[in-house]
Structure formats: structure tokens, C-alpha cells
Structure 1
């Protein structure tokens, strides 16, 4: 078996920044277990599989494809950065002729459209609800110790826990915060939480970034994800309400870092815009 495979750094214009995702282009269906084996072999936070929906489809001419995402440990229902990487491969390397691509996924149809030197993803927008601190106190203490917390929200649609740190902290604090992910699987093993978002309000002048974040998902085999589109389907909803803004500029404060431009839409979805740098292309042989 030989498969075209690429690695693209998403939500950045520079190689070795942003979030790397592997992208496999599938002419035919794979055996189910092979997806996971390839994702484990690539050992990135996500490996995306773009497949033709009909035998007559063409990666250059067609505009609709199937898309699945796998971490090294499991399949996930939504991944923004690997969707951006998939679109970048089709637009920039395969030279797909369409201005907009549609991906059929476990989260419904997602669209990716060209926008000058970037790509805009049409993603769902997920509301958050207040979470009682005492119910998840052990999880928060295990992750960030005595770090001061200003707000706690939960997204039942995505099973992501959003923890807003005190406004007294700055970006540097979030970037250097030591987060203990090793014990989280023991502290939270009910299945309620599949991802932990730490977030912080941006600078008072509002001219740089509206908010910052980091994202941790040891429950799906990813200790810390560098830049996370799916987390921003939750963060966008929360910070839009907190800031009273529909258009926001966000930065994920991982070691690699990544920029996201966010626009909430009237139809209840969110446009997330970012760049991508393709750093590897080759053939997977198995």
C-alpha cells in the first residue's frame, strides 16, 4: 500500500510553528484499524484522512470529500487544525481548482475557502455553561495547583472544560505555567471531560489579542495541543459574550504558538481564519 502523505503546520505562516498535522489522501477505503495505525506511526496530535466520496471524484477537480481525524490514541469528532492542513494540501499542493471545499465529517459538513494567503474554516459554534467549582476542583488542582481561577465553564457538546484564569495574570504567566497532565486521567476518568482549555483575557488596549489559551487533552492521547481549532469553537462562544465582540483575534500560547482570526456569524456558526505551511510531502508505504 502506498499513500500520498503530507505534514502541514496549521495556524501559522512559518514552518515549525503552529500545529503540525499529517494529511493522507485516500483513493480507496482503508481497513478501519489502518487509520489508527498510521496515526500512531505519525505520532502527531492529529492525522487527517481525506477520501474520495465517489470513484469518479478527483482531488484536483472535485469540491467535496470525506474527512476523518485520528490522534495517536483514538478517532476524534472534530479537529480544526487538521481540517486547515487538509485544505492547504488540496489548495496549495494538489492545486484544487475550487475556491471552497466541503468536508463530510463526524461533525457534519465543514467548509474551507480560500482567502488571499490564508484559509477560512466554517465551523460549528458551541455554547458553554457555568460549571460548579467543587465538582471539578480535584481536576483543576491537579492541573494548575493554586493558580487563581476567575471563571469555569463546560461545553457538553464537545466535553471540553474551559477554565479562565484570573485577569491579574498576563500572557507571560500563561505561557510559562507548568500544567501537570500526567495525573489527569486518574483524577477524571468518568468520560465527562475530554479536553481542558486554559484561557486568559487579552491586553486592556485590545489591539494585540482579544484572548489567549492553551489546550490539554491527555484523554485522547494529546498532552498539550499546540494550536486547536476545535477548542476555539468553544472559546469563540465564551469570549464573544464576555467581550461583546463578534470579530476577535486570538493566540494559543503553546511553545510553537499560533494565530487565529475569529468571526461569529449570524447563522450560529463561526469562521476561523488561519494560514498553513506545508513542510513535508512524500509517500507512506505499508
Structure 2
């Protein structure tokens, strides 16, 4: 079997910045074990598998999409969806202005925007939780002062609101200690603060439980950050920067129907075929 594949740097316009993802274009369905094995072999934070749906043997703009980290499947991944859209729009030149993805998080849409490629995702909502429960996590991350801790109702992601950009940049987690904590209902943890310079907010994101100590740029956590920060800053459009080693940025645009447009650029740096 031979599979067409691409490596794309997402949420950046420069090579070797943003968050790299593998995009596999499937001609037929693969089993879960095979997709997991491929993702493990690729060893990036996410590998996306897409297959075009057909109506009466005619191709259309609807694609099934699934995302795998090196050790598990995830229900939503923003940067790998942006990478898939870059491949479909700009490498394969599909004759459609919109892509409709069928995923485990429901229907997702992508279209070209003045800022790059826009992804239409469900907007998550922040709910408050008992701070004391996460004292062990805070200690493992070296965090002693914070403004707030909140939890994503849908994404199950935990986010810690810190005081400043300086504090965001200085956080140095003990990832081994984090993985030993009994917090199975947490699907990754982010830290965020107001930026106020070229961007409205700054973020970092960690998920050692999924084999990704620090993610370069994380789309899914921004569905939660968009709803949280839009209420604080009273803005429906936000510029966000994820301060990982590679760095990446996006525009978040709140929509009325509990959706959010996540807009960014992407650059394909490698294409080829995977032989199995």
C-alpha cells in the first residue's frame, strides 16, 4: 500500500515555525491500529488522516478526518486540521471554496480568509473548578501565583491564568512528575496571560499524558481561550500568540452560534509517499 502524505507547518507563514503536522490522504479506510502505528512512526504531535466522501461515485467537498498523537487518538486538533486544509486548498487545488470535515467533534468547516485559512470550530465554555484539587499539578509546573484556573466543558482542557507574559515564559514544568499525577479527566493543561502588544493574549500548552510535553501551537485549547478572553477583553476578534520554542499565531473570531473561527496560515515543507 502507498499513501500520499505531506508535512505542514501550521499557524505560521515561515518554514520551521508553528506546529508541524503530517497529513495522510487516504484512498480507502484504514484500521485504527494502522493509523496509530503511522502516527507513532511520524512522531509529530498529530497526524491527520483524511478521506474524501463520495455521493453517487462523484467527489465532493466533504472529507472524513481523524487525528492521532504518537500514542492515542484525539477528538479535535486545530493545527492538523489547518494543515489538512492547506494541503487540500493549495497543494491538491480542490475545486471548492469550502471544505466540510466530518469528525468526532461534529462538522467542521474551512475556507480561505484574508488572514489565511479559517476553521469553523465549536466554541468551548469555561467552567470554574476547585483549585485545591490541582495543587499537585501546580507544584509540578512550578506555579505558585495565578489569577484563575478554569476547565473546558467540551475539550476537558485545564487552563491557568497567570499574571504576566514574563511568568508565562518562565514556567518550566517537571513533565515526569506531571505524568504521575492522577488527573485522568484532564486532556492537557494550558497557561495564558494578557499580552497587550502585537497580540491580545499569550499562551503555552502542555500534554505529556498524550506524549507531547509542550505543543508548538494548539488549536483546540483556543476554542476555550476564545470564549474566556472575549468576555474579559470585551472583544469578538482576538490575536493570539503561542509562545513555544517554534512559536505560532492565529486570529480568533467569535461567531453568534457558539462557534469560533480560528484563522491562521500554513506552509507545506515536505511531500511524498508512505510505503507500507
TM-score w.r.t. structure 1 length?
Answer: 0.93
Q: Secondary structure at the match of 1:122?
A: strand
**Alpha-carbon separation, structure 2, partners of 1:283 and 1:140:** 43
Q: Secondary structure at the match of 1:136?
A: helix
1:1-286 to 2 correspondences below 5 Å:
1-54=1-54, 56-58=57-59, 62-116=60-114, 118-146=116-144, 148-166=145-163, 169-170=164-165, 172-187=166-181, 189-203=182-196, 207-286=197-276
What's the CA shift string for 1:22-79, capped at 9, x where partnerless?
A: 0000010112210000000000000000012238354xxx211000000001000000
Gaps of 5+ in 2: none
**Alpha-carbon separation, structure 2, partners of 1:88 and 1:75:** 22
**Alpha-carbon separation, structure 2, partners of 1:99 and 1:175:** 39
Between stretches 239-248 and 113-122, larger displacement belongs to: 113-122
How far off is 1:18 after superposition? 0.3
**Alpha-carbon separation, structure 1, partners of 2:231 and 2:265:** 26
What's the CA shift string for 1:202-242, capped at 9, x where partnerless?
A: 12xxx511110001111222111100110100110110111
Contact 2:115–2:263 under 8 Å retained in 1: no
**Alpha-carbon separation, structure 1, partners of 2:81 and 2:230:** 23
Contact 1:8–1:277 under 8 Å retained in 2: yes
**Alpha-carbon separation, structure 2, partners of 1:32 and 1:71:** 12
**Alpha-carbon separation, structure 2, partners of 1:70 and 1:229:** 14
Q: Secondary structure at the match of 2:100?
A: strand
**Alpha-carbon separation, structure 1, partners of 2:159 and 2:170:** 19
Contact 2:143–2:171 under 8 Å retained in 1: no
How far off is 1:117 after superposition? 6.3
Contact 1:175–1:255 under 8 Å retained in 2: no
**Alpha-carbon separation, structure 1, partners of 2:213 and 2:153:** 21
Q: Secondary structure at the match of 2:53?
A: coil
Gaps of 5+ in 1: none
What do you get for the CA RMSD once the two structures are aligned? 1.4
